């Protein structure tokens, strides 16, 4: 079994508005003549990739050390989605899917989507964004999911290389599994957004035009990456 690290780098990822940023300080250094290297870390529990426990929004809710760890181990469904998730989206996505849901992209879990997740018995929700729910008003979504002790993963990421296993297509007939096919990634991807795909589509279009007109791509013009994206 291959294990993938989908956590974000602590000191390089975005910090949720109002949270203290993580800091590190080298307090001992072998290069300076000390016996060892020693680093002091300062951070809050909301930095980087983390779990939200019910205690995050409920005064008497369970803390992370009291969570049922079986909820974070097992089969999960990974879904690419951008925009606001609706109740209909969740009904379509979940169905007979595993009870763990990982959302790639800029997916926003709305309150109606959160209620649908509870109705489907989802036990874990993971997102790439800084919070589960609208960033400017995540409280209601958190209260809805954490009341049912749904484990919330925030700030996930998934860089992949070409031919990395990306999951399995599971085929079911009348609710019974009849087969599985492994899915491999077609090309590497570190991070992608709207302009990544727009640039990619533009370059392919330009190359196709030059191929048809000149029979080569020696004079092709491509959309180059710039400092501002």
Tokens (6 digits) for 92: 């379509």
Averaged pLDDT for residues 89-96: 88
User: How far is the first Cα of the chain from the last one, in angstroms, to the nearest whole number?
Assistant: 36
Q: What is the pLDDT of residue 156?
A: 67
Tokens (6 digits) for 6: 């989908």
Q: Which residues contact 138 (CB under 8 A, 6 or more apart)?
A: 131, 132
Q: What is the pLDDT of residue 227?
A: 39
The answer to whether 8 and 129 have CB atoms below 8 angstroms apart is no
pLDDT tens for each residue of 193-224: 444 444 555 566 566 665 556 655 444 444 44
pTM of the entire predicted model: 0.62
Residue 183 has pLDDT above 70, yes or no: no
Mean per-residue pLDDT over the chain, rounded? 78
Q: What is the pLDDT of residue 188?
A: 54
Backbone angles phi, psi at 190, to 5 degrees: -90, -45
């Amino acid at each position: 079994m291959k294990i993938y690290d989908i956590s974000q780098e602590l000191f390089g990822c975005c910090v949720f508005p109002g949270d203290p940023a993580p800091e590190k300080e080298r307090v001992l250094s072998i290069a300076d003549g000390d016996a060892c290297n020693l680093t002091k870390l300062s951070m809050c529990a909301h930095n980087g990739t983390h779990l939200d426990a019910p205690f995050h929004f409920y005064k008497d809710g369970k803390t992370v050390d009291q969570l049922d760890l079986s909820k974070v181990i097992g089969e999960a469904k990974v879904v690419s989605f951008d925009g606001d998730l609706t109740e209909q989206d969740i009904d379509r996505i979940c169905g007979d899917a595993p009870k763990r849901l990982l959302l790639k992209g800029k997916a926003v879990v709305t309150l109606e989507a959160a209620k649908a997740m509870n109705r489907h018995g989802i036990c874990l929700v993971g997102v790439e964004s800084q919070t589960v729910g609208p960033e400017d008003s995540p409280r209601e979504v958190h209260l809805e999911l954490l009341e049912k002790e749904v484990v919330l993963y925030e700030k996930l990421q998934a860089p992949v290389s070409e031919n990395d296993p990306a999951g399995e297509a599971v085929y079911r007939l009348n609710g019974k599994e009849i087969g599985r096919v492994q899915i491999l990634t077609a090309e590497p991807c570190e991070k992608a957004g709207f302009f990544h795909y727009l640039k990619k589509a533009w370059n392919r279009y330009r190359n196709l035009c030059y191929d048809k007109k000149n029979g080569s791509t020696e004079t092709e013009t491509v959309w180059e990456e710039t400092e501002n994206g």
